[in-house]
Structure 1
Amino acid sequence: MNRLATLAAPAAAEEVESPALIAVGEEAHERLRYTRTEIEDFARLSGDANPLHRDRKAAERAHFGEIIASGQQTVSRLLGLLASRFSRSDDGLARELLVLNVNFAFKAPVFAEQDLHLVWRVTQLEPSHRGGVIAHVDGRAGVAGKPCVIGRATLRVRAPGG
């Protein structure tokens, strides 16, 4: 019996549980750093014409002092980490992932050449009536322990065809 099924009903004594596809407390981490060129290129390629992402004078007038990364640049990295972690099969367990909902809030700017730490943490699981489990996850991108972007997502994770 898949361990996820035990969320809905206790396993019979003779059944052996398999490893969970996702677990409360599970985390995904990534560390990265944007270059000034990457910030400018991402803004251009994504259609973000805000001068704060390419014009130092505009960034100085806005009291940032230097260009800042587009919010969608950090959000895209957070979403990529989320999808990669919870759809992985590198541990021998195939998974299907569907992102049901995601929200982000921007707390501080991200500058070039800063060490950015991304993390997602599973906070709650509940059975899904469509198979698998509904997972609630909290995420953040931070610099030096201070949050720059925070997020919350709801996912459905299940075994293929589950």
Structure 2
Amino acid sequence: MTTADTGQSAAPATGAQEWRPPFIIGQALEAPIVFTPDSVRTFATLTNDTNPLHHDAALASTTRFGGLIASGTQTTGLLLGSLANHIFPENASLGLGCSFRLRKAVPADAALIARWTVRSIVPKPSLNGVLVELDGGLVDQKGTVFVEASATIAVMPHEALNQARPT
């Protein structure tokens, strides 16, 4: 991410550059998330989710959903995972907490948007980084919300991961 993307000025040209958080408060982060019947079945299988709504198209077509739906594990995992592309490879991060509300079933053929908005950024000297709180969700092009979320992540320079453990 460039400094133009974050609204921050570049670090001074003298000596080593000072690390700066890659986000600003209010910044929106988006990534496309595409579901397919095969990805829904595969993800459910990998996570030992045997719910037929994720595997059996014939049975799922007779339900109120009208077809296969993605598991909550898949929708929330991909939503949370979408944050990584906004952080790496320039920075390191650690997930500290998250919560989700599943509002609407995600069809197995959905093309959605993972959208996060930076709510706060708080310095965390013990990590040589910051704590970032975000609100987010999975939405479609019309703005229909399928999943609501909030997350707290620690973001820091890669070197911070190599420091000795605090005692």
| TM-score interval for Structure 1 and Structure 2 normalised by the shorter chain | 0.7 to 0.9
- Take 2:89 and 2:135, find their aligned partners in 1: how far apart are those partners? 18
Which sections of structure 1, spanning at least 5 residues, go unmatched?
1-15, 90-94
Moved more, 26-35 or 104-113: 26-35
Show the counterpart of 2:38. Answer: 37
- Identity score, percent: 31
Show the counterpart of 1:6. Answer: none
Show the counterpart of 1:97. Answer: 93
Letter in 1 for 2:22: L
**Number of residue equivalences:** 142
- The alignment's C-alpha RMSD in Å is 2.1
Classify 1:139/1:76 alpha carbon distance in 2 versus 1 (closer, same or farther; 3 Å): same
Moved more, 19-28 or 35-44: 19-28
Residue 119 of structure 2 corresponds to residue 119 of structure 1:
no
Q: CA deviation at 1:102?
A: 1.0
| Cα deviation digits, residues 18-41 of structure 1 (max 9, x gap) | 754321122321123212122112
Show the counterpart of 2:156. Answer: 158
Q: CA deviation at 1:17?
A: 7.6
- Take 1:49 and 1:105, find their aligned partners in 2: how far apart are those partners? 21
Which residue of 130, 135, 138 corresponds with 1:133? Answer: 130
| Cα deviation digits, residues 104-132 of structure 1 (max 9, x gap) | 11000111222211111111111214121
Which sections of structure 2, spanning at least 5 residues, go unmatched?
1-16, 161-167
- Take 1:18 and 1:134, find their aligned partners in 2: how far apart are those partners? 14
Checking the alignment, whether the CA contact within 8 Å between 1:42 and 1:73 is kept in structure 2 is yes
